[in-house]
Every structure is written in structure tokens, then in C-alpha cells.
Chains A and B, each alone.
Chain A
């Protein structure tokens, strides 16, 4: 029998262990939910959309591309929960599958753009001097392009489709992330452990990735949730303009493009539900991100 199994800690030690229990992930999650009801609501929406996107095959009652020409522009009812569009496609099923498109574009753009911005921002702060100056000026130039304008210019070059849309949204996110990350990384450079790491003879990439990046994770994660929302909104806008995801891929913005305006007065559900899906999803990510910021920033806790 090992020593640890034999050893039974006396009661005072258990009493001391209790505060540690308060920091368990579950307790912290419960605490977060209690303090941030709106954030919890946002998290619930995000989870719901994630489940819809991941399990689209099992949840959607119809195929998103199947036409039922006997039931075109049918009002919402038991057969078609959100009604059908002008081509007889089930809107509920298209929204469920559309969640997948939105999440794929949202997460890939936010993660890739965020990661690139993270490394660029921390590296810029770490090296300082001329490198920092040049990187900052380049970022300034990139920031002069509004997101949707830059995305449209990139689509003009590479063309439409899911992959190109991801590229088009990722690139304008990089400078936005790098800016914020650099600002939080600047004070880190002066902290002794970075000096210590340098004194140990570690390489630049090791210091940046292992010692500095983990310390800017807080603001980075908050920004990431906002980025996912922004990317979903940008994808919807591009698809609505006919310059994003193309038919027959189900996408929320695309659903609003074709018949939504034309049938606005006779079949308003074609326009209402996909827009509601976009709004709810971005709303969820925004609420969650806000709550995360409030929870991580002690100055904002009592607001």
C-alpha cells in the first residue's frame, strides 16, 4: 500500500481544502451563470446553434435542397415548422443546415484570423523598435479598410464560395486582433520572467509562444467570441449580396437573397426566420463575450 493511500488528512486540512473546491471548474461555471444571467442566456443560444449545426442530419426533418413543388410558399405549420420557400424547400431544415455553414465560416475565420493576429501582435510587442513600427504602420493601413469592403475586394479577386469567403473574412480580422493583443502584450515585455527566459537562452519563438502568448489569452478569448459573431454577420452580408456562399449550400444570408423581398408581403416567413437565426446567433455570441469580459475584468464587475 502506498504512502498516499495510507495517509488520511486530519480535518483541519479538509477545511483548508474547501476554498480550493470553490475554484473547481463546475463551481466557477455555476458562479458565472448566477452573476451573468444574460451571458448564460447567450451561452445557451450558442450551444443551441452548435448542436443544430453539428447534428443537422438528425434534427432537420427534410433535406435542405429537396424541393416540394406541391408545397411552395406554404405558411408555417406542423408539416413545415417555419413554412417553405418559393421553391418548396423546408425553411426550418435550411436554417438548421445553415447553422453549420455559419459556424464553419464563423469559427474558421475567427480562429485563423485570431491566431495570426495573436502571433503578430505578441511578436510586434516583443521585438519592439523598427519591427514594431513597421508592423504597426502596416496594420494601420489594413485597418483603414472597413471589414466588408476589404472582404468584397478579396472576393472580387478570388471569387465566391465557402473557402474564399473564409479567406475574405479572415484577412481583415488579423489587424483588428493584432492591435488589441499588442496592447496587452506590451507591458508583459517588461516583466522579469520574460527577461529570465531570455537569460536562459531561449529562442524568440519559444519566448513568444510559451511565455507571452498564454498571458494575453484573457483579452484574446473575449475578442474571439466577438470575432465569431462579426464573421457570421459578414458571411451573411456577403451571401446576401450574392458574393458569398453559393447555392445550393444552405446559408442564412443566401436564404434572404432570392425570394425574401419579392415574396415579402405574401410569404413573410421566407424573410423573417433566416434573419432571426442570424440575429439570435450573433446576439448569443455578443452576450456571451460581454459577460466573459465583465467576469474577467474586476473593474466592470459591479456594473
Chain B
């Protein structure tokens, strides 16, 4: 087990270094000189001294290998430089927007698990009945529905329903308050985006739960459990679900990346000032320092989530642990 953990943890290093290199190269593939674009954006005149100063500020006057080392070293101690657009430190820009995105992501994951595991299980147990058909259609529709459209429809529904019941249309607030300060207000900001993102996330794991559950229910040990007269509830909860959920756990980890992608558009729909929206703004404003920091942040989250999932999987499945 320890060997596996050490091996798996060490594997993270080349992946992150490679990702850093890719981001570094991508950001240097921008056609033209970043400083010239930045200074001459509005067609204004600029002098060579200003460009040189900008180069020095961004460290572009140094050799490439040094720039790369500086970039990686900065990342290692959370120094991402200053935002080219706002002039504030990138760490500050990210830090202020991180809580809301993290809360939406976690809540979306909870929503997804609450929807997908029971529905996927029921669908598998009632295979080829109308319940199964509805769940499967919901799942396939979930993977096909753009989350921003679902967000718009949700806002539309909330507006119409509140208009019908209270007489005045109600819109969810957009300013984030931490959960411990005002739980009700916090939830009213976060719950709709979480459901919107969570539905898509649920759709994928619903399909997975269904198919692994069908597979497991055909296993010999389930037949044995049935033959010895165990209650159906116990067979499903103790014997089947425990085994069927293993691949679902992996999938949830991998799909976490989609969830982050989903946040980018969903925060735009709900007008929330989170990481996703910051990313879009960074790209729109051609703020390369901010863009590269955000891309790296997402990659780090993704790689670490995968690491946790793999370790969890090894812990749950002895076949991997002792392989």
C-alpha cells in the first residue's frame, strides 16, 4: 500500500511540471509582443522605454529557461505576479473570488450524489420499466443540456413562480455572504447555480451507477446472498451498492473537471463574482498573468482530485492495493 501511495504521489510531479510547461509555452505563443499589445491597445502612441520597462516588469528580458524557473518558483510559494488588467496581485484577485466557487462546486457535488445514486440504483433495479426509461432519458438529456441554458431557464422559472405566488418577481441575490454570517442569504445565492451545475454532473454518474449496478446484481455473490434468504434491502445496501459505487467514485473525481468547466459558464449566467467569471474576464481583457494563474489553478485542482480519487480507490479496492 505504501509503495503504491508513494508511486502515485510522485507521479503528480511530472504531470504538474508538464502542465506548467504547456501553460508557459501557450502564453508565449501569443502573436506579437504582449507589451506592445498592452500599451498600444487603443492605438495610442508608446515609446520604446515604456515597452522595455514592461518587459522588465514581466521578466520578459530574461532568458526563457530563467523565465520558466521563475514562473514555477512563483507558483510553489503562491506568488503569481500582478494582474495586467487590474494591477492588483493575482493571488488577491483569486483569493477574494475563491470561496463562492468552492462552495458552489462542493454543493453541486452533493446535489449530484443525492440525485444520481438513488435514481441510478432504482433505474438498475427496475431495468426496462417506465421508471428506468424516465431516468435514462433524464440522464442523457442532462449530458446534452448546456448548463448556461439551464441556468437561464431556472432564473426564468424563479421569476415567473415568484411573480405568480407573491405578486412581485424575485431574483436570487448576487452578492456573496459567507455561510456562517447569513446562512439563508448564502444559500439563496448558491443553491440555484449548484443545482444547475449539479444536474449535468449527476447525469453522468447516474448512467454509471445504473450500468455498474446492473452488472453487480448479476454477480454470483448476490445470488448467494439471495439464496441464503437475506432481505432485499440488505443485499442492495451492503452487498451490491458497496461494489457498484467504486467506479462511480472514480467517475465523480474525473468529472470534477467538468464541474469546474461548468462553473465558468454558470457564474456568467447568475452574474456571480467567482473564479469562472474571473477567468472569462481575464481572457476578454487579454490579461495573461491572470489567465495562466487560473489555468494552472484548475490543473492543480484537477490533478489533486484525481490523486485523492486514486488513493481512495486503492483503499476501497484491495485488488489495487496489493497489486
Contacts and interface: CB of A to CB of B under 8 A. Distances in A.
Interface of A: 137-138, 140-142, 144-149, 152-158, 229, 233, 236-237, 240-243, 253, 256, 260-261, 264-265, 268, 271-272, 274-275, 278-283, 286-287, 290, 303
Main SS class of interface, A: helix
B7 to A, nearest CB: 14
Interface in B202-254: 211, 214
Given A261-B152, A268-B156, A303-B211, A144 B146 contact: no
Contacts of A145: 19, 22, 295, 298-299, 302
Nearest to A154: B26
A286 B283 contact: no
B286 interface: yes
Nearest to A275: B149
Contacts of A253: 146, 148
Given A144-B303, A261-B155, A279-B141, A256 B18 contact: no
Interface in B261-311: 261, 264-265, 268-269, 279-280, 282-284, 286, 288, 291, 295, 298-299, 302-303
B156 A286 contact: no
21 contacts: A141-B22, A144-B299, A145-B302, A146-B258, A146-B302, A148-B265, A149-B261, A153-B23, A156-B286, A157-B31, A233-B144, A237-B264, A253-B148, A264-B156, A264-B159, A271-B156, A278-B144, A282-B143, A282-B145, A286-B140, A303-B127
Given A233-B146, A236-B146, A240-B146, A265 B156 contact: yes
Nearest to B27: A157
Contacts of B50: none
B14 interface: yes
B214 to A, nearest CB: 6
Contact of B264 (A152, A156, A256): A152
A230 to B, nearest CB: 9
Interface in B135-163: 140-141, 143-146, 148-149, 152-153, 155-156, 159-160, 163
Given A146-B258, A156-B30, 15 more contacts: A144-B15, A146-B257, A149-B260, A149-B261, A149-B298, A153-B23, A153-B26, A157-B30, A242-B280, A256-B152, A265-B156, A271-B149, A275-B149, A278-B144, A290-B140
Nearest to B283: A156
Contacts of A283: 140-141, 144
B29 interface: yes
Scoring A142, A156, A287 by chain B CB atoms within 10 A of each residue's CB, the highest score goes to A156
A237 B146 contact: yes
B155 A264 contact: yes
Interface centre among B30, B127, B211, B265 (most CB of A within 10 A): B265
Nearest to B282: A156
Contacts of A275: 145-146, 149, 152-153
B183 interface: no
B169 interface: yes
Nearest to A236: B146
A22 to B, nearest CB: 26
Nearest to A274: B149
A148 B264 contact: yes
Nearest to A240: B148
A237 B269 CA distance: 11
B22 A243 contact: no
Interface residues of B, number: 52
Given A149-B260, A241-B268, A137 B18 contact: yes
Contacts of B141: 279, 283
A156 B149 contact: no
A252 to B, nearest CB: 9
A241 B260 contact: no
Given A146-B258, A241-B265, A157 B144 contact: no
Given A155-B283, A265-B156, A141 B146 contact: no
Contact of A271 (B152, B279, B282): B152
Nearest to A265: B159
Contacts of B153: 271-272, 275
B141 to A, nearest CB: 6
A153 B299 CA distance: 12
B59 to A, nearest CB: 19
Nearest to B295: A153
B264 A149 contact: yes
Contacts of A157: 26-27, 29-31
Contacts of B26: 153-154, 157
Contacts of B145: 275, 279, 282
A233 B144 CA distance: 8
A274 B148 CA distance: 12
B72 to A, nearest CB: 14
A72 to B, nearest CB: 19
B140 A240 contact: no
Contacts of B155: 261, 264
Contact of B291 (A138, A156, A237): A156
A140 B280 contact: no
A275 to B, nearest CB: 3
B292 to A, nearest CB: 8
A140 B152 contact: no
